[in-house]
Structures are given as C-alpha cells and as structure tokens.
Amino acid sequence: MTDPLTPSATDPATRPIVRLRPKAEARAIRHGFPWIYADELVTDRRTQALAPGTIARLEDSERRAMGTVTVNGKSKIIARMLDRDPEAVIDRAWIAARLTRALALRARLYPEPFYRLIHAEADGLPGVVIDRFGDVAVIQPNAAWAEALLPEIAAALVEVTGVSAIVKNGQGRSRALEGLPEETLLLQGMVDGPVPVRMNGATYMADVLGGQKTGLFFDQRPNHAFAALLAKDARVLDVFAHVGGFALAALAGGARSALAVDGSAPALALAEQGAAAGGMAERFATRQGDAFDVMEALAAEGEVFDLVICDPPAFAPAKPALEAGLRAYERVAMKAAALVAPGGYLCLCSCSHAADLASFRNASARGIGRGGRRGQILYTGSAGPDHPILPQLAESGYLKTVFFRLDG
C-alpha cells in the first residue's frame, strides 16, 4: 500500500495519477463540485492499492489534468478536490494559507475568537472541521487525508491562530464512512475543564473533551439572537437544549424564565454552569428526560410558554432515513405546538442533511396543524456566516430553523 505521507504530497512529480471514467461528469467537477464518487473513477489495481488519504493528480478520461485530489478507496466519495492546480504542493504552508484566509473572515465577523474556523469543503479543507474556543481549538479530521496530515494541520493552526491547546475529536458518522476509527484526545497543551464561551450576551460552557461534537454548536448563533428578540418578558421552553443554547440567549434577551429540557444530565449541568456564569441562575431551570415524554408531561400539567424552541438531533442524516425523519419532525411540531400560549412563538430546527427546507417546513406545518394550531412563518434561518456554503455542494447548507407565530 502507498503511504499517504510520501513525497507525493509535496512533490507533484512523484504523485500517482487517478482518472475519471469516460462517462463521468467532468463538467461538474470543473465547475466546482468537490467530490468524485466511486463509480466515476477508474479503479484499477494500481488505484485500489493507494492508501487512504493519498494525494494524487486527477485527470479526465482524455488525460487532461483537473487538479490535485485526495483518494480513499474505502469511501463512496473516492476522491476529494484539494486544489484546482495539479501542481499544488500540499504541505504546512498550503494548509496555513487556507487557515489564514478563513481566519480573516471570522476576525471580520466576530469581536471575540469563538467561532467555526474551518467548515470543510467551503473553506478549502475537505472533510475538516475546526471550531475555536478562544485559546482552545477542536479539530475534526473527518477525511482520511486529514487524519494522515493531522500533525501538519495542527502545526499550521498554531502558527496562524496562536491557540495554546488543540483537541482531536474523532467521533461521528463521517469518520465511519471514511473507514476511520473513533477517538478523542488532546493533541497539544492543556484543557482544565469546560471552556467558557461568550455569545449573544450569554456565557456557554463547552466540554471540548467529552461533550457532543466539538462541545458547542456555533451554527445556531444567529437564530439564538432572533429568539432573544422574541424572548423579552417571556416564559421560554428550550427542548433538546444541549448546553442551553436557545435558553441562555433568551435569558440574555430579557426572558422572565427559561426551562431547558434534555436527555443528558452532563449537558444540563453545563447549561446550569453557563446560567450561573451569566448571572441568570435564578431565572433558569432544567428538566432531564426524553424530550417527547417531557413535552407530554408538561402538556398534562397545563403548562404553556410564550416561546418554545425545539432543536433535535438529525432525524434524517441520510436519504434512507428521510421518510421516518420527517415523521419525527412532524411529531415534534405537534407536541410543541400544544405548549405554546395563544399568540406565542414556536421555533423548530433541523440539522438533517437529507431533509431540505421545503420538506422540513411542510412537516413542521403538518405537525402544528395536527396539534390543532395555525400560524404564520416569521423568520427562516440557517447557520451563521462562520459556516459558509459551497454553492456546488448543497449538503454544506444543512441547518434549517423556522420561527412561527401561532394563533390563539
């Protein structure tokens, strides 16, 4: 097997060549689509022998150069475009240039260093996610090339940002699809405990070593801010709250009270720490349990709230789960609508790649109707600008957030 860390990464002359099949859609790739699927590439014995993460030269079926790619024969996405230049040198300087460009955007957008620094293909580092929590950064190397070049990515990250601690989060479905093992470890520096993160006037506690994903979801930041506009003097219910994302923003916006519901006791404990850090503890409460069970119990208790938010995990992460996932979103909307006071607000979210906005919005409207309510859509949100979307890759625009105002 070829070692992905051979000079092929830094010396284009030694790079193996992989070639598109004659009927592959070369035009889409030339126009910016970043992936080559397994049935689009010639997979002869030589190509099959390449180690996952090998850097290669991509050619079309007529042997015209198309760029520099990384190859993984174990993945349905057999090749990912790294650079349109077939002579590109993929080294620490190349990675640092991508990081510098991404940092310039985030520094313009945010006054403090709390954001997603790298959003995979859209920031020119395919399969790589980097979230920054001040002096701590969490890298998710979700593609084989990133796993192989992780030391170079980490070194470039320190060079560009000056972070003192780096965590590798090697968890999740994406790594499994690449044939990569799961592991989380501290690559550099020290992390003493949850990291305080300031956003939208609230303080969140991110468990970067043991929490969900990288420890905090930056993508909902603009939607938290919109919820805060609706929250003044309101009773707020935040379901699937994780570390209190919407609830703490609502309290910072002047909510009278907020109840956070989640199945994870550690996540709710972090939410409570965040509320205390922001001086909001007296207005904040938590309730652990299955979200559907808790919503049913609250309805049975006669509870109603001025603003209800439901931000569940991905019920439809891939197309085979789409139908069942949409039914689950419909059920969430039905249960939540029963808890909204007359004239109150309901925020429903989906982070499912397979469910597009129209499908999710329709499922939500059906659920609200099944709950005996009607309403108007006030606002439709997506991930913040630190999660840029590659126009050719619809999958990078995964987050949908819809705010409804319900009738009496």
| Catalytic positions | 351
Nearest Cα neighbor of 306 from 383, 229, 360 is 229
Phi-psi region of 314 (alpha: psi -120 to 50; beta: other; left: phi over 0): beta
Is the CB of residue 258 less than 8 Å from the CB of residue 287?
Answer: no
- Which token pair is 200? 């939208």
Would you tell me how many other CB atoms lie within 10 Å of the CB of residue 404? 26
Short-list 304, 314, 328, 309, CA closest to 403: 309
**Residue 341 near residue 307 (C-beta atoms within 8 A):** no
Long-range Cβ contacts of 186-189 (<8 Å, 24+ apart): 187/139, 187/150, 187/154, 188/154, 188/158, 188/164, 189/135, 189/136, 189/163, 189/164, 189/165
- Alpha carbons 9 and 241: distance in angstroms, whole number: 43
